[in-house]
Amino acid sequence: MCGIYGYIQSKSQKKPLEQCLDGLKNLQYRGYDSAGVATICDGDLIAFKTVGKVDLLNSLIGSKKYELSMAIAHTRWATHGGLSTENAHPQIDYQNTLALVHNGIIENHIQLKQFLEKKDVTFLSQTDTEVVTNLISYFCNQMSIKEAALKAISMIEGSFAIVFIHKNSPDSIFAIARSCPLAIGICDHTSDVYISSDPSSFSSSSYHTTFIDSDEIAVISNSSLLIYDFNGKIKEKSGSHLVVKNKDITKDGFDHYMHKEIHDQSFLCREILQKRKHQDSFYFSELKKSEQKIKQTKHIDIIACGSSYNAGLIAKEFLERLTLFPISIHLASEYRYTFHLDKKDTTCIVISQSGETADTLAALRYKKETFLQTIALCNVESSTLTRECDLFIPLLVGKEISVCSTKAFTSQLLNLYLLGIHFSNVLGINHQKLISEINNIPFAIDDILSKENIIKEYAHKYSKYPFFLFTGRKDMYYTSIEAALKLKEISYIPAEAMPAGEMKHGPIALIDKNMATVAFIGNEEISSKTLSNLSEINARNGQILLFASEIPSHITKDVILINSNGSNTFAPIPYSIAGQLFSYHLAKNLDREIDFPRNLAKSVTVE
């Protein structure tokens, strides 16, 4: 996955190493296993690398003043090779001539390594990145740096973004990409050049921005930006104008970003409802031009991963009832490898907080041409997903820092509900009863937030359990899937979600006094059935914590009352937020690293 950053000074007084470290901090959502920076100083390659987060690099670099014109940097999420300094980027080649940073996966790295080993090239790391570093270096002995890079990428299989520097061209940065984002921004005021996996990580200013398309190479200096195609021919690219406002996001007195982001959800939902309000209903002006296509639609496909997928799962039945379209929901990571009947007239909704999830992008690209229209439901306007979809609906929740998604997930779900209402408006289907119910969502969220202390007490009580089962029925089962994911991510405790009615078909064998079951009962029409299933767990000494709208005292004393403000339909939102608070306090009690859990990254940019 990883984040790539590069900087070339032109008219400003900024120091390249410091500038790269600042930029890297904005990219740590792409991984934080290790960090590194490299430059060329007086003809020598210099690199600083560390396991862990970017801040640790400061002490390595120390106070020595380097006279530099450029630097490249990297924050890593390990794919090949463990968490060590040797495996951190930048990787240096066997001839000590070039330093390279990489995002993506070189799928044929084993064959390429064998090819190089036969030429007596030696390796120090376990990374696929070192293979491409040495491959370019090897070809540099026979041709120009640009030609060597093009020759190397003609041999590489996989998707990647690569940035490197070479001793023989000490003022330039070389950048190549295939199906991975890599942006070059030239600052309007200083002409300084910024290179990044994500242009929103550039310093606050305005830029002329160009994305490197697949198999292009950019040769960048402070006086020129030349982009060549695969055959080495110069390409004219128009680029676009980008304004970056990187406000420092604070925790506002909370201990963790996750906690702050959970609390932000009440006012954010109010703002989203307000923005979409139109006459006595809700409306997306972004979809104005697509009304004809909505009328032509016969199916909706939803594609996403992780929590974004869970938002789709929860909303599916609501959307189906409201639009009367059959809806298929797909895990993006499975999509390309599964058989799909070609359905005519399908609107595809792709959900992603980051808009950079490699699985999601690959799934979109796989069938994009067959869809009637594609809609990105995404939090990042400048993301690859929003650029590649026909239409874009913003989540409007601001930057989400915690790896564990909370406010973005809630906005995805709320926006899917609102999209259902928008579609039914266009199709002339009545939904008036839902309008007042959906307007009550922020009040239901306020109610949950006011019960935080009770949730916290239960989270502490339950933090001794080694395994959790989350359960419910219908949309409460899907809500429990999301709640189990939250708990796994930040507490590292195994948690499985199971429809309550399925317990007796096998999983009930797991139940004993050491197993904690968390049950969500927010859909009154089926609550008696869920309670019967819970009785069966109770009878086998399982410990049960209930999130419910009333107290069924015969099942358990551990009940957290949820007031969904009269709405069963939208209950998944307050119940999910209750689940977020439960996981947060449980993980905090266990002293976990909540905002940046082990092994994870905010944006998963490898398949």
CB of 400 to ligand AGP, least distance (A): 9
Q: How many residues bind ligand AGP (CB under 6 A)?
A: 15
The CA distance from 95 to 145, in Å, is 14
Among 16, 170, 185, 306, binds ligand AGP (CB under 6 A): 306
Among 116, 145, 305, 313, binds ligand AGP (CB under 6 A): 305
List all residues 6 or more positions away from 605 whose beta carbon is below 8 Å from its beta carbon.
1, 2, 30, 103, 104, 180, 197, 356, 357, 358
Classify each residue of 10-47 as buried b or exposed e, where b means 16 or more C-beta atoms within 10 Å of its C-beta. Answer: eeeebbbbebbbbbbbbbbbbbbbbbbbbbbbeeebbb
Question: Of the two residues 159 and 405, which places its CB atom closer to ligand AGP in the complex?
Answer: 405
Site for ligand AGP contains 352 (CB under 6 A): yes
The answer to whether 415 and 271 are in contact (CB under 8 A) is no
Site for ligand AGP contains 373 (CB under 6 A): no
Question: Of the two residues 357 and 410, which places its CB atom closer to ligand AGP in the complex?
Answer: 357
Helices vs. strands in the chain: H and E counts, helices first: 19, 26
The CA distance from 323 to 315, in Å, is 12
Measured at the alpha carbon of residue 273, what is the angle toward residues 252 and 377, in degrees to the nearest 5?
85
How far is CA 473 from each of CA 117, 170, 503, 578, 587, rounded to the nearest angstrom? 57, 62, 11, 17, 26
The CA distance from 102 to 557, in Å, is 53
Question: Of the two residues 351 and 544, which places its CB atom closer to ligand AGP in the complex?
Answer: 351
CB of 586 to ligand AGP, least distance (A): 15
Of 2, 378, 389, 404, which is the active-site residue?
2
Torsions phi, psi for 299 (to 5 deg): -140, 155
CB of 41 to ligand AGP, least distance (A): 37
Among 603, 605, 606, 607, binds ligand AGP (CB under 6 A): 603
Among 360, 411, 569, 605, binds ligand AGP (CB under 6 A): 360
The answer to whether 523 and 474 are in contact (CB under 8 A) is yes
The window from 92-100, 354-362, 494-502, 547-555 that contacts ligand AGP (CB under 6 A) reads: 354-362
Instruction: Give, as one character, the DSSP assignment of residue 183.
Output: E
Active site residue 602: yes
Looking only at residues 500 through 539 of this chain, which bind ligand AGP when binding is defined by CB under 6 A? none
For residue 90, say if its preceding peptide bond is cis, omega within 30 degrees of 0. yes
CB of 103 to ligand AGP, least distance (A): 15
The answer to whether 418 and 284 are in contact (CB under 8 A) is yes
CB of 521 to ligand AGP, least distance (A): 24
CB of 56 to ligand AGP, least distance (A): 23
The CA distance from 489 to 491, in Å, is 6
The CA distance from 450 to 428, in Å, is 39
The window from 256-264, 277-285, 306-314, 461-469 that contacts ligand AGP (CB under 6 A) reads: 306-314
The window from 58-66, 125-133, 305-313, 571-579 that contacts ligand AGP (CB under 6 A) reads: 305-313
Among residues 547, 533, 534, 540, which one has the least CA distance to residue 577?
A: 547
Site for ligand AGP contains 434 (CB under 6 A): no
The window from 49-57, 189-197, 350-358, 462-470 that contacts ligand AGP (CB under 6 A) reads: 350-358
The window from 177-185, 300-308, 426-434, 504-512 that contacts ligand AGP (CB under 6 A) reads: 300-308
Q: Which residue is nearest to ligand AGP (CB)?
A: 306
Tokens standing for residue 259: 């906690």
Question: Of the two residues 97 and 333, which places its CB atom closer to ligand AGP in the complex?
Answer: 333
Site for ligand AGP contains 353 (CB under 6 A): yes
CB of 179 to ligand AGP, least distance (A): 16
Active site residue 2: yes
The window from 19-27, 58-66, 299-307, 534-542 that contacts ligand AGP (CB under 6 A) reads: 299-307
Site for ligand AGP contains 479 (CB under 6 A): no
Tokens standing for residue 257: 């970003």
Classify each residue of 437-460 as buried b or exposed e, where b means 16 or more C-beta atoms within 10 Å of its C-beta. Answer: bbbbbbbbbbbbbebbeebbebbe
CB of 150 to ligand AGP, least distance (A): 32
Of 113, 260, 316, 602, which is the active-site residue?
602
CB of 107 to ligand AGP, least distance (A): 21
CB of 445 to ligand AGP, least distance (A): 18
Among 97, 265, 290, 308, binds ligand AGP (CB under 6 A): 308
Site for ligand AGP contains 579 (CB under 6 A): no
Beta bridge partners of 549: none
How many Cα atoms sit within 13 Å of 551 on the Cβ side? Answer: 7
Tokens standing for residue 119: 């030429």
Among 197, 405, 410, 569, binds ligand AGP (CB under 6 A): 405
Question: Of the two residues 273 and 600, which places its CB atom closer to ligand AGP in the complex?
Answer: 600
Tokens standing for residue 109: 């790295």
Among 210, 307, 411, 567, binds ligand AGP (CB under 6 A): 307
Amino acid of residue 381: E
Site for ligand AGP contains 376 (CB under 6 A): no
Among 47, 403, 414, 578, binds ligand AGP (CB under 6 A): 403
The CA distance from 109 to 33, in Å, is 21
Among 489, 526, 556, 583, binds ligand AGP (CB under 6 A): 489
Site for ligand AGP contains 568 (CB under 6 A): no
CB of 579 to ligand AGP, least distance (A): 12
Tokens standing for residue 149: 């890079």
Beta bridge partners of 352: 378
Looking only at residues 27 through 86 of this chain, which bind ligand AGP when binding is defined by CB under 6 A? none
Longest CA span, the chain: 80
List all residues 6 or more positions away from 63 whose beta carbon is below 8 Å from its beta carbon.
none
DSSP states of 551-591 as a string?
Answer: --TTT-S-EEE---TT-STTTHHHHHHHHHHHHHHHHHHTT
E strands present in 305-387: 327-331, 346-352, 373-378
Strand pairing class (543-548; 559-561): parallel
Among 265, 357, 415, 583, binds ligand AGP (CB under 6 A): 357
Q: Which residues bind ligand AGP (CB under 6 A)?
A: 305-308, 352-354, 357, 360, 403-405, 489, 603-604
Catalytically active residues, by annotation: 2, 602
